[in-house]
Amino acid sequence: MIASNFYELFRKAAFHFDPELVHNAALFFLANFPQTMAQLFGRAIDDPQFITQSADGKLNWRFPIGVAAGLDKDAVALDYFDAIGFGAVEVGTVTPLPQVGNDRPRIFRHPGEQSLRNSMGFPSEGMEAVYQRVAKYNGRAALGVNIGKNKNTPIPEAFNDYLLLYKKFAPVADYIVVNLSSPNTQGLRKLQSGEYLDNLLKSLAGHKDREKTPIFIKISPDLSLEEVDHIAQRVLDFALEGIIATNTTIDHSYKIGGMSGKYLYEKSKIIRHHLLAKYGGESKMAIIGAGGFSSFADCVEFWKEGGKFIQLYTSFIYQGPPLIAAIAKELRGLKFGN
């Protein structure tokens, strides 16, 4: 209760300022005072029954809730997210070369819908800087690295960026996420289909045979189910581990950016439900749920459909660390497939 009150006071004050300014300031404190921040704002209880494993045994989280990419793009606060009990921390999106991303302002709050809209455009300190941090990480939370192409890399050559990043991070990551679905990098979503998709997955699959680090494809919620099926089939064809469903949506009335949070939940849920029903069997692929989860009830619905792994982003901004603590408290005693 005390931690919840602390976070509510912080959020009310913080929401008077620019979202990106607040985000960067928060990361500074989380990076430099991880244990203090964990004690102040709360953490999840630790329980062996929370350990969650994919059917193929390649993905192991100590807790079925992880941090989605975007919260810690440059891997500066890994120790904090580990300290508060997340099952996994996914950093990125990381690009090969440093880049500043799109012009500011590029994060917009929609508090009435408990949602965010961003047009970040993959701001990144670059592969080398992020690698130096993740290579030193030794926490209990699984480490995911979300990778993307540089803005100036032509789409036909994008597979080279992804392959370079996979080769760099595969030795130090527990899993790699191939981001093909951000709406904020021009042309990126073209990589979700046709020859572009095949060339990319073929190049990654060839190297995965050597590195063995699991690969997940992060997809858009704005795809048709036929398009989702095509990607899922190619994931199976190239023996990749699974799909993250989903990224942000451009199905809104604003001029720019992708929406996340509660606004996204129902749209993203359609994709997740379809994937779990058709491809989520023991012999097929792992589906990581992302997009609008904001309560224990949302998580339970996903678990009952056969999902196991969930990622939080926007709800963590609105509700803070008390959310993961509350989910852990309610999860204790609940039986679901591990």
3-state secondary structure of 82: helix
Largest CA distance in the chain: 54
Check residue 92 and give left, alpha or beta (phi > 0: left; psi -120 to 50: alpha).
left
Give the C-alpha separation, 279 to 285, whole Å. Answer: 6
Evaluate whether 174 touches 143 at the Cβ level (below 8 Å): yes
Exposure of 246 in the CB half-sphere (CA atoms within 13 A): 36
Non-local (6+) Cβ contacts of 321 within 8 A are 3, 7, 38, 41, 42, 43, 84
Active site residue 182: yes
Q: What is the distance between the alpha carbons of residues 329 and 214, in angstroms, rounded to a whole number?
A: 30
Classified as helix, coil or strand, 51 is coil
User: Of 7, 11, 19, nearest to 109 (Cα)?
Assistant: 19
Strand, helix or coil for residue 64: coil
Q: How many whole angstroms separate alpha carbon 3 and alpha carbon 11? A: 12
- What is the torsion angle, in degrees rounded to the nearest 10, for the CA atoms of residue 88, residue 94, residue 100 and residue 106? -40
Q: Which two tokens stand for residue 10?
A: 């912080």
Give the bridge partners for 176, in sequence order: 145, 215
Write the single-letter amino acid at 207: H
Which residue out of 54, 119, 124, 182 is catalytically annotated?
182
How far, in Å, CA of 93 to CA of 147, rounded?
Answer: 5
Strand partners, 94: 147
Active site residues: 182
